């Protein structure tokens, strides 16, 4: 017949059992939470893809209807621009330098997403000789973030290697993945400002094939200014 454990050993054994049970419960809870988050992310990714297909279908239908009536379909004005700095500081006026700093375009080949409104459009016009900008497609927004995106966490430049980086900073806003982040950007969602400032300014490569004439406007065969939807081509050459 075994002797009963001394009181001290018995309490230690009970404590170990309690800690083991708590650890198992926490581990299982974290695993369940992670699984649920992954399921939400997957469901939203499918939803985003379906939304884009529907939007493209509506665009084609609207163009067809306009053509049948002998007119042209004019799409809604863009809400977001991708803005790329293409020149250095030589000959730059102090006001232009200040605007570029406000846009977080501190160096040549830095780039950011900007919500378009009356104030930001005026800012872009004032620094137009130093920037190339336009309205990127959802596919290019996603590719940009996936390939060249870094997070700005407390002033630290952190690679976006996992969805956990996004979720830790923006999960409270319902942005839990890179897909959520891209969707918030290209739809100019209600949390666009938080999402765009979460992204460290992009550091783009020199474009393959180089620039043409950075001191001439794009519509005149140069590089600076608004390219509208044609910004996609420049972005892809600089990834």
Q: With helix as H, strand as E and coil as C, how does 184-203 read?
A: HHHCCCCCHHHHHHHECCEE
Q: In terms of domains, do 142 and 218 share one?
A: yes
Q: In terms of domains, do 54 and 120 share one?
A: no
If one counts the domains in the chain, the total is 2
What number is the average pLDDT over the span 18-25? Answer: 73
157 pairs with which residues across the strands? 152
H or E element in which residue 126 lies:
helix 118-126
Q: In terms of domains, do 48 and 161 share one?
A: no
Q: 3-class SS at 50? A: helix
Q: In terms of domains, do 21 and 36 share one?
A: yes
Q: In terms of domains, do 161 and 64 share one?
A: no
Q: In terms of domains, do 231 and 143 share one?
A: yes
* Domain termination site, one of 16, 46, 75: 75
Q: In terms of domains, do 149 and 106 share one?
A: yes
Give the span between the Cα atoms of 159 and 142, in whole angstroms: 15
pLDDT tens-digit series, residues 157-174: 999 989 999 999 999 999
Q: In terms of domains, do 64 and 106 share one?
A: no
Backbone φ, ψ for residue 192 (5° rounding): -60, -45
pLDDT at 213: 93
* Domain termination site, one of 25, 58, 75: 75
Q: In terms of domains, do 29 and 94 share one?
A: no
Domain enclosing residue 87, as ranges = 80-238
Check residues 27 and 85 and name the one with the higher pLDDT.
Answer: 85
Count the neighbouring beta carbons within 10 Å of the beta carbon of residue 192: 18
Q: In terms of domains, do 34 and 47 share one?
A: yes
Q: Are 175 and 41 in contact (CB under 8 A)?
A: no
Q: In terms of domains, do 56 and 93 share one?
A: no
Signed CA dihedral, 225, 135, 160, 143: sign only:
negative
* Domain termination site, one of 75, 106, 135: 75
pLDDT tens-digit series, residues 172-200: 999 999 999 999 999 999 999 999 999 99
pLDDT at 4: 60
Q: What's 158's domain CATH number? A: 3.30.1390.20
Q: Are 206 and 86 in contact (CB under 8 A)?
A: no
**pTM of full prediction above 0.75:** yes
217 pairs with which residues across the strands? 224
Q: In terms of domains, do 209 and 104 share one?
A: yes
pLDDT tens-digit series, residues 78-107: 999 999 999 998 889 999 999 999 999 999
């Amino acid at each position: 017949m075994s002797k009963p454990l001394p009181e001290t050993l018995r309490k230690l054994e009970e404590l170990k059992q309690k800690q083991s049970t708590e650890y198992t419960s926490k581990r299982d809870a974290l695993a369940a939470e992670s699984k649920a988050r992954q399921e939400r992310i997957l469901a939203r990714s499918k939803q985003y893809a379906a939304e884009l297909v529907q939007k493209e279908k509506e665009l084609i239908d609207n163009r067809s209807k306009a053509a049948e009536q002998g007119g042209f379909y004019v799409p809604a004005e863009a809400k977001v621009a991708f803005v790329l700095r293409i020149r250095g500081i030589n000959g730059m006026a102090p006001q232009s330098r200040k605007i570029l700093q406000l846009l977080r375009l501190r160096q040549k080949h830095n780039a950011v997403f900007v919500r378009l409104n009356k104030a930001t459009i005026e800012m872009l016009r004032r620094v137009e000789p130093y920037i190339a900008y336009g309205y990127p497609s959802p596919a290019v927004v996603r590719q940009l973030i996936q390939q060249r995106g870094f997070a700005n966490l407390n002033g630290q430049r952190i690679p976006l290697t996992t969805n956990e980086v996004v979720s830790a900073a923006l999960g409270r806003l319902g942005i839990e993945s890179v897909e959520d982040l891209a969707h918030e950007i290209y739809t100019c969602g209600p949390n666009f400002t938080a999402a765009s400032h979460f992204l460290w300014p992009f550091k783009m490569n020199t474009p393959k094939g180089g620039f043409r004439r950075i001191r001439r406007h794009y519509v005149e065969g140069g590089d600076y200014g608004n390219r509208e939807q044609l910004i996609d081509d420049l972005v892809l050459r600089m990834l």
